[in-house]
Amino acid sequence: MQTHHSKANIALTLATLTFAANFSVWCLYAVLGIQLKENLALSSTEFGLLLAAPMFTGAILRLPVGFLVEKYSPKKVFLIQMAVLIPPLIWLKTAESYFDYLLLGLMIGISGTSFTIGIRYVVDWFESKHQGTAMGIFGAGNAGAAITLVFAPVIIEQFGVSMVGPMYAGGMLFVILLFAFIAPQTPKYLQPSEEINWSTHFATMKELKVWRFGLYYFFVFGSFLALTMWLPQYYVAAYGLSIQQAMALTLLFVASSSLVRAIGGWFADKYGAQKVNWGVFWVCLVCLFFLSYPPTTMVIQGVEKDVNLSIEVNVWVFTFFMFTIGIAQGFGRASVYKIIYQHYPKKMGSVGGVVAMVGAFGGCTLPILFGVAVDFIGVYSACFMLLYGVLAACMLLMYLANQRENYRQRIKHAIAMNFLERD
């Protein structure tokens, strides 16, 4: 008979693989969209909406799914969620118009809810002191985007755009069978069900710190999603690289950011999630400062002749900064969910769903805002100026919240020591 420890490891491994498979479907339009833009002669706005379609559904459904897994078995919900993906993936073969792809994009966006389901499935298996590491390992399933960046272009080149959906549907069917027959049922759902006090779950949505955590996740996850879709065309437009080169450098960003998430969870367990999160923000702020600076040419009037001075971030320095941001965001995604568990250990489905929804909206809205910023300001680096502003707002809010929490703790300690009296 399998021990609880061995079952926990099997559950975590299969949940991570399942999440990676779902994430590869969620990011499918990042590659497929480039071909569709050419085939359907899409404008930049139409292309942005196409990329945003699956992100939108994945974001908006994370909240109700989060409440759903509080009542029903996450394993069963996981299987149903993946089964729903099969029809739209197959129908991609018959899609012809822009509206067809837009509608099917909204349908396959349900793959984005897999994170909320998986987190709820994983947390029941591990003790509090190991939660950060476990959730970090599970979160490494973000590397599923790398699967799409590697294999989707090969499928398109060998078999054509029409075969991408059916082949992904076949892969998803395999994952469904694997998870159904091997993944163990979580201990909580082996016991008789208890009545859930839904009012307490809904009440948490009124707490500002829940939405503050969502804002943190908007940056560390939402911008990760947005950059995953934005970077290929950025490399092509700003540095004149080929599609293959752009995909390879984007793959470096995605894979490194996803794989270090497990290490970030361990750091959050050992050194504290709040400290890790604060460090992540500072690293990203410094990198975004340099990335925001557009290529500049200045003419300095010298004594005998003018001196031309050019300042720009070349492609290798740019890639280094992106690699650093990716690593930091991987740590940040793990630390945010460790913070959530510290505050709401019994509400990881509902609260985690709210935070995941807010974060996923970053992947939906930021690519569109990137385009607006570039069109308005007129430089490619405008997208990083926008991210710099988002991060600065997160850091200011985090600082004020920490100051307020410290003040409350001092007051509470003073009352406990009889320095102050209650009214």
Q: Quick one: how far is CA 182 from the chain centroid?
A: 27
Q: Ramachandran region of residue 287, left (φ > 0), alpha (ψ -120 to 50) or beta?
A: alpha
* CATH code of the domain covering residue 226: 1.20.1250.20
- Written as one letter, the residue type at 400 is L
The whole-number average pLDDT for the span 9-26 is 90
Q: What is the pLDDT of residues 299-333, one digit of tens each?
A: 677 667 776 766 677 889 899 999 999 999 888 88
Whether residue 48 is contained in a domain is answered as yes
Whether residue 409 is contained in a domain is answered as yes
Q: Among the listed ranges 81-90, 159-168, 190-199, which one has the minimum average pLDDT value?
A: 190-199
Q: In sequence order, which residues have a C-beta less than 8 Å from that of residue 302 and are 6 or more positions away?
A: none
pLDDT at 168 over 90: yes
The residue assigned the tokens 């460790």 is 338
Q: What is the pTM of this model?
A: 0.74
pLDDT number for residue 161:
82
Q: Among the listed ranges 198-207, 283-292, 378-387, which one has the minimum average pLDDT value?
A: 198-207
Overall number of domains in the chain: 1
Neighbours of 288 (CB within 10 A): 22
Evaluate whether 17 touches 74 at the Cβ level (below 8 Å): no
The whole-number average pLDDT for the span 77-100 is 91
Q: How many CA atoms lie within 13 A of 354 on its CB side?
A: 21
Whether residue 203 is contained in a domain is answered as no
What is the pLDDT of the chain when averaged over all its residues?
81
Whether residue 196 is contained in a domain is answered as no
Whether residue 197 is contained in a domain is answered as no
In which band, very low, low, confident or very high, does the pLDDT at 170 lie, cut at 50, 70 and 90?
very high
pLDDT number for residue 200:
59
pLDDT number for residue 173:
94
pLDDT number for residue 188:
64
Q: In the beta sheet, which residues pair with residue 296? A: 311
Q: Which of 159, 73, 52, 152 is nearest to 118 (CA)?
A: 73
In which band, very low, low, confident or very high, does the pLDDT at 192 lie, cut at 50, 70 and 90?
very low
Whether residue 199 is contained in a domain is answered as no
Higher pLDDT, 336 or 345: 336
Whether residue 422 is contained in a domain is answered as no
Higher pLDDT, 162 or 3: 162
pLDDT number for residue 189:
54
Question: Which of the listed ranges 34-38, 189-193, 287-291 does the model predict with the highest average pLDDT?
Answer: 287-291
Q: What is the pLDDT of residues 242-299, one digit of tens each?
A: 877 888 888 888 888 877 877 777 777 777 777 887 888 899 999 999 888 876 766 6
Neighbours of 242 (CB within 10 A): 10
pLDDT number for residue 2:
60
pLDDT number for residue 169:
93
Q: What is the pLDDT of residues 384-423, one digit of tens each?
A: 888 898 888 878 877 787 777 677 777 776 676 665 555 4
pLDDT number for residue 119:
84
Higher pLDDT, 298 or 182: 182
Domain hosting 369: range is 4-190+208-295+306-416
pLDDT number for residue 122:
84
- Local structure of residue 380 (DSSP, 8 states): T
pLDDT at 15 over 70: yes
Whether residue 200 is contained in a domain is answered as no
Q: In sequence order, which residues have a C-beta less than 8 Å from that of residue 158 and are 6 or more positions away?
A: none
pLDDT number for residue 215:
82
pLDDT at 181 over 50: yes
The whole-number average pLDDT for the span 353-371 is 80
